[in-house]
Amino acid sequence: MTPVLDLQAVEKRFGAVTALSEVDLTIDRGEFFALLGPSGSGKTTMLRVIAGLERPDRGRVLVEGREVTALPPYLRNIGMVFQDFLLFPHKTVGENIVFPLRMQRRSRAEQQEQLAWVSRLVRLQGLEERYPHQLSGGQKQRVALARGLVSRPTLLLLDEPLANLDRELRREMEVEIRRYQRELGIPFVYVTHNQEEALTIADRMAVMYRGRIEQVGDKLDLYMRPETRFVAGFLGHPNRFSARVLEIADGRMLLDWNGVRLRQERRFETRAGETVELFLKSERIRLCRRPDEAAALPNRVPGRLQDAIFKGVFADCFVTLNNGAELVVAATPDAAGIPRESPVTLAWDIADAHAFPVEQEGGGS
Amino acid sequence: MGDGRRTSFFLQALLLAFLYLFLYFPIFYIAFLSFVENTTWPFPPLYTLEWYSRLAIMSDFHEGLFNSLLIGLGTGALAALFATAGAMALLRYPVRRKALVALLYLGPLFVAEVLIGISTLMFNRNVLGLPGNLFSAILSNTTHALAFAFLVVLSQLVRYDWRMDDAAMVFGARPLRCFFEVTLPSIWPAVLGAFLVSFLLAFNNFEISFYNLGAVPTLPTIAWGTLRHGIEPELYALATLVNLAVFVALLLLYLLIRTGLVRIGLPED
């Protein structure tokens, strides 16, 4: 089956800046796809290339198997929801929403029919006669979504659509947007720099960094099995530390971390004496009050609890280890009751931390 | 303390009154003169409407007025069009050396109008082979007015969000459709401003029009022509009528803004 969207070795430069470099990506029918990355990683440029607002310097863009690389945006039938909504200020809500249909010269009756349908979908009934400046932020967001969906485009692009909304509204809209996607079956490409949002809303995702796709796949895979150092250090805000390789055997490494021995999976070429960097998500660490609780786990490090902050579902514990390092642990909420300065042991399995070769600053992935 | 404040207020009011007097006294004095018989020393004034009735039957003036209006409208339309296109190109697309490009647009601002008049005449006649006529007068005035029009449009357009056009194009609008549906509804006050400025510049222009038109009369050339055999009071009547038209236009614009029918500048959203 041909994918809805197929990017092949797409490259885009702005002067000396490489915004996209050799990007390959396919998006399938009915998929909710998130593009995640820090600002300046090239994700907005990628959306603009897909929409036809930027012409790539190299590579090809295919929509439903048809090459559209050189096609202007108005011939692509791709919907888009912009970060600042970008509603047309001189048009009413209704006029804004039917704009794509008018441009496609659909009949007046059909315009009204689709307007009624999409207003019901995004719950905007009764606001059709208002002007954008008379709407709240959430209502503007719904109008922007309705305008993006009304012509049932091949693909809907969403560029940080919730960035300008407050937290409560964002939660609500995340659920709403997911609902629209399910009901319509149109593939959504959702750009965000907010990893919680990407993890909540999408099925599959790509992490971008410096104009490249670092890793693409099922969101759980990216979270649990990062393949690059950047993804490992980005998703889940993990603890990060360096250790020296002592021995290598049976696909495992024995590491020395400031005098503490650690056992770790070996997934890349390395030799004894080299330094590796480890990323360890705080929720993968077990916090034990008695050392024997951790006996089953290969990595055990003693330390002292500095502080525990109750967060409801869990508690953030700050532990100073006996080797001088400090780790953050997401423990069960009752950990908030442990007295400060209590001795504790932190433990984790060999696959819980992700190790990568140490890189020189400024190097690529 | 209170006294000091009152004095300062009084001084400020006086200053303001003086300023307005400075700006408007010549205009009102001419208006006053246009209604009196004894124009050299009108105290006490002997009121008359003779100058207006004489003006009404002078066919020169009618032709001049018509020509001036034509030059004004033509120049206004051309300058507004070119200025808008130029400002859009400069702001919307990645242009190298933007400041230099913008500055080059403004060149005619610094050239004396007489020189523009002479040089456009030479160029039109010797290079293009155009005879001096209303059309070449409109083109030459556009050369001059374009710089002003460009400044007017540019100062407004820097606030326009061009991603609005991106949105329109993604939703299927071709460039021309996008301009009329989305861009123009936001920027039209700037375009109108450029038109008005260019219209007035060309309507009132003497040197450029004179060199290009020669014997064909416009209001300023007629005024100048009559000047040679002494100032005739019909001129006062003419000046008063022209000024009146300008004031009425300004008043109308002010009322439109006050009632909210017209918004100068771009909407907040």
Angle at A326 between CA A323 and CA A331, to 5 degrees: 120
Please answer whether residues B130 and B66 qualify as being in contact, where contact means their C-beta atoms are separated by less than 8 angstroms.
no
As a whole number of Å, the CA-based R_g of chain B is 23
For A265-294, what is the mean pLDDT?
90
Inter-chain CB proximity A103 and B267 less than 8 Å: no
Confidence of residue B2 (pLDDT cuts 50, 70, 90): low
Query: Measured between CB atoms, does B41 come within 8 Å of chain A?
Result: no
Query: Measured between CB atoms, does B262 come within 8 Å of chain A?
Result: no
Which residues from chain A sit within 8 angstroms of residue B174, using beta carbons?
A: 74
Give tens-digit pLDDT for B248-262: 887 887 787 676 555
Give the pLDDT score at B210. 81
Query: Measured between CB atoms, does B183 come within 8 Å of chain A?
Result: no
Q: How far is B135 from chain A (nearest CA, A)?
A: 37
Distance CA B122, CA B48 (A): 46
Confidence of residue B1 (pLDDT cuts 50, 70, 90): low
What's the residue count for chain B? Answer: 269
Residue A32 has pLDDT above 90, yes or no: yes
Inter-chain CB proximity B186 and A147 less than 8 Å: no
Average pLDDT, chain B: 85
Burial of B166 (0-12, 13-18, 19+ CB in 10 A): buried
Number of Cβ within 10 Å of residue B175's Cβ equals 12
Inter-chain CB proximity A88 and B168 less than 8 Å: yes
Inter-chain CB proximity B167 and A80 less than 8 Å: yes
Residue B84 has pLDDT above 90, yes or no: yes
What six digits make up the tokens of A265? 């999976």
Of the candidates B162, B18, B28, B29, the residue with the CA atom closest to the CA atom of residue B87: B162
Distance CA A347, CA B174 (A): 62
Question: Which structural domains are found in chain A, ordered by start?
Answer: 5-233 (3.40.50.300), 237-357 (2.40.50.100)
Average pLDDT, chain A: 92
Which residues from chain A sit within 8 angstroms of residue B164, using beta carbons?
A: 86, 88
Burial of B27 (0-12, 13-18, 19+ CB in 10 A): middle
Inter-chain CB proximity B161 and A86 less than 8 Å: yes
Residue B92 has pLDDT above 60, yes or no: yes
- At position B55, the amino acid (one-letter code) is L
Confidence of residue B263 (pLDDT cuts 50, 70, 90): low
Which residues from chain B sit within 8 angstroms of residue A99, using beta carbons?
A: 168, 171-173, 181
Angle at A260 between CA A254 and CA A266, to 5 degrees: 25
Say which residues have a Cβ less than 8 Å from residue B154's Cβ, sequence separation at least 6.
B83, B87, B90, B91, B102
Distance CA A123, CA A97 (A): 13
Q: Quick one: closest CA in A to B267, which residue? A: A89
Give the pLDDT score at B126. 85
Inter-chain CB proximity A133 and B182 less than 8 Å: no
H-type alpha helices, A22-73: 43-51
Residue B269 has pLDDT above 70, yes or no: no
For A284-305, what is the mean pLDDT?
90
Please answer whether residues A327 and A286 qualify as being in contact, where contact means their C-beta atoms are separated by less than 8 angstroms.
no
For chain B, helix (H) and strand (E) counts, in that order, are 12, 0
Of A53, A74, A133, the CB nearest to B172: A74
What six digits make up the tokens of B51? 């100058």
Q: Would you tell me which residues 149-168 of chain B have a C-beta closer than 8 angstroms to some C-beta of chain A?
A: 161, 163-164, 166-168
Residue A213 has pLDDT above 90, yes or no: yes
Strand partners, A287: A346
Q: What is the largest CA-CA distance in chain A?
A: 76
Give tens-digit pLDDT for B5-43: 888 899 999 999 999 999 999 888 888 988 988 877 878
Q: Is B114 helix (H, G, I), strand (E, B) or coil?
A: helix
Of B164, B171, B269, the CB nearest to A147: B171
Q: Quick one: closest CA in B to A54, which residue? A: B166
Residue A153 has pLDDT above 90, yes or no: yes
User: Which class does domain B58-230 fall in?
Assistant: mainly alpha
Confidence of residue A15 (pLDDT cuts 50, 70, 90): confident
Give tens-digit pLDDT for A50-90: 999 999 999 999 999 999 999 999 999 999 999 889 999 99
Number of Cβ within 10 Å of residue B3's Cβ equals 7
What six digits make up the tokens of A10? 């797409």
Q: Quick one: closest CA in A to B268, which residue? A: A133
Give the pLDDT score at A136. 92
Inter-chain CB proximity B164 and A86 less than 8 Å: yes
Q: How far is A248 from chain B (nearest CA, A)?
A: 55
Inter-chain CB proximity B171 and A103 less than 8 Å: yes
Please answer whether residues A73 and A22 qualify as being in contact, where contact means their C-beta atoms are separated by less than 8 angstroms.
no
Which residues from chain A sit within 8 angstroms of residue B268, using beta carbons?
A: 133
Say which residues have a Cβ less than 8 Å from residue B130's Cβ, sequence separation at least 6.
B124, B136
The predicted complex's ipTM stands at 0.84
Residue A327 has pLDDT above 90, yes or no: yes
Distance CA A148, CA B172 (A): 11
Confidence of residue B98 (pLDDT cuts 50, 70, 90): confident
Least confident among A163-177, A207-221, B170-184: A163-177
Q: How far is B79 from chain A (nearest CA, A)?
A: 26
Distance CA A41, CA A157 (A): 17
Confidence of residue B268 (pLDDT cuts 50, 70, 90): very low
Chain A residues near any Cβ of chain B (below 8 Å): 48, 51-53, 72-74, 76-80, 82, 84, 86-90, 99-100, 103-104, 132-133, 147, 151
Confidence of residue A243 (pLDDT cuts 50, 70, 90): very high
Of B172, B174, B185, the CB nearest to A90: B185
Give the pLDDT score at B95. 80
Q: Is A59 helix (H, G, I), strand (E, B) or coil?
A: strand
Residue B113 CA: distances (Å) to CA of A73, A216, B33, B141? 46, 65, 30, 9
More confident residue, B210 or A191: A191
Burial of A164 (0-12, 13-18, 19+ CB in 10 A): middle
Give the pLDDT score at B133. 81
Q: Which of A13, A53, A75, A151 to mutate to test the interface with B (most CBs of B within 10 A)?
A: A53
Domain extent listing, chain B: 58-230
For B122-140, what is the mean pLDDT?
83
In total, the C-beta contacts within 8 angstroms joining chain A to chain B are 69
Distance CA B132, CA B145 (A): 19
Inter-chain CB proximity A74 and B186 less than 8 Å: no
Confidence of residue A291 (pLDDT cuts 50, 70, 90): confident
Least confident among A269-283, A310-324, B102-116, B137-151: B102-116
Which residues from chain B sit within 8 angstroms of residue A88, using beta carbons?
A: 164, 167-168, 181-182, 185
How large a percentage of chain A has pLDDT more than 90?
77
